[in-house]
Structure 1
Amino acid sequence: MKQLVIFDLDGTLLNTIDDLGTATNHALATLGFPKHPISSYPAMVGNGVRRLLQRALPSGLDTDENIGKMRAAFREYYDEHCTDTTVAYPGIPELLHELQSRGIKLAVASNKYHEAVVRLIGHFFPDIDWAVVSGHKDGVPTKPDPSVVFEILTVVPTPKLQVLYVGDSGVDIETARRACIESVGVTWGFRPVSELKAFYADHIVSSPDAILALTEKDINI
Structure 2
Amino acid sequence: MTTTGGRPWAGAVLFDWDGTLVDSRQALLAAWHDVTSRVLGRAWPVEEDDIGVVLSRRGTEVFPSLSDDPAVVQALADAFTPAYERHAAEGVRPFPGAVDLLEELNGRAVAVGVVTSKARARYTADAVRGRMNHLIAAATCAEDVIRGKPDPQAALSVLEQLGVPADRAVMVGDTVVDIRTGRAAGIRSIGVTWGSTPAGPLVEAGADAVVETFDELRAALSTGPLAP
- Report if TM-score (shorter chain) is over 0.5: yes
1:182 aligns with 2:192: no
Find the aligned partners of 2:92 and 2:10 in 1 and give their Cα distance: 29
1:43 alignment counterpart: 52
Deviations 1:123-143 (A, max 9, x none): 213474321022111652111
1:54 Cα deviation from its structure 2 partner: 5.3
1:217 aligns with 2:224: yes
User: Conserved in 2, the CA contact under 8 Å of 1:106 and 1:131?
Assistant: yes
Deviations 1:119-166 (A, max 9, x none): 211221347432102211165211111111111122111132221110
1:77 aligns with 2:87: no
**Alignment-mate amino acid for residue 15 of structure 1:** D
1:107 alignment counterpart: 113
Of 193, 201, 207 in structure 2, the residue corresponding to residue 201 of structure 1 is 207
> Quick one: percent identity of the two aligned structures?
26
- TM-score normalized by the length of structure 1: 0.86
Deviations 1:24-55 (A, max 9, x none): 11111222421147785642320112344456
Deviations 1:45-91 (A, max 9, x none): 20112344456x4xxx4654432211111123224443321122122
| Shift in CA distance, 66/4, structure 1 to aligned 2, threshold 3 Å | same
Deviations 1:69-118 (A, max 9, x none): 11111123224443321122122122112222212111111001122112
| Shift in CA distance, 98/39, structure 1 to aligned 2, threshold 3 Å | farther
1:18 alignment counterpart: 26
1:7 Cα deviation from its structure 2 partner: 0.3
1:28 alignment counterpart: 36
| Shift in CA distance, 218/125, structure 1 to aligned 2, threshold 3 Å | farther
Q: Which has the higher helix share?
A: 2
Task: In structure 1, list runs of 5 or more residues that go unmatched.
Answer: none
Structure with higher RCO (Cα < 8 A, 6+ apart)? 2
User: Conserved in 2, the CA contact under 8 Å of 1:9 and 1:108?
Assistant: yes
Q: CA RMSD in A?
A: 2.3
Alignment of 1:133-212 (within 5 A): 133-137=139-143, 140-212=146-218
Find the aligned partners of 1:195 and 1:62 in 2 and give their Cα distance: 32
Find the aligned partners of 1:138 and 1:130 in 2 and give their Cα distance: 16
| Shift in CA distance, 76/161, structure 1 to aligned 2, threshold 3 Å | same
| Shift in CA distance, 27/188, structure 1 to aligned 2, threshold 3 Å | same
What secondary structure is seen at the aligned counterpart in 2 of 1:96?
helix
2:6 alignment counterpart: none
User: Conserved in 2, the CA contact under 8 Å of 1:30 and 1:73?
Assistant: no
What secondary structure is seen at the aligned counterpart in 2 of 1:73?
helix
Task: In structure 2, list runs of 5 or more residues that go unmatched.
Answer: 1-8
- TM-score normalized by the length of structure 2: 0.84
What secondary structure is seen at the aligned counterpart in 2 of 1:107?
strand
Aligned length: 215
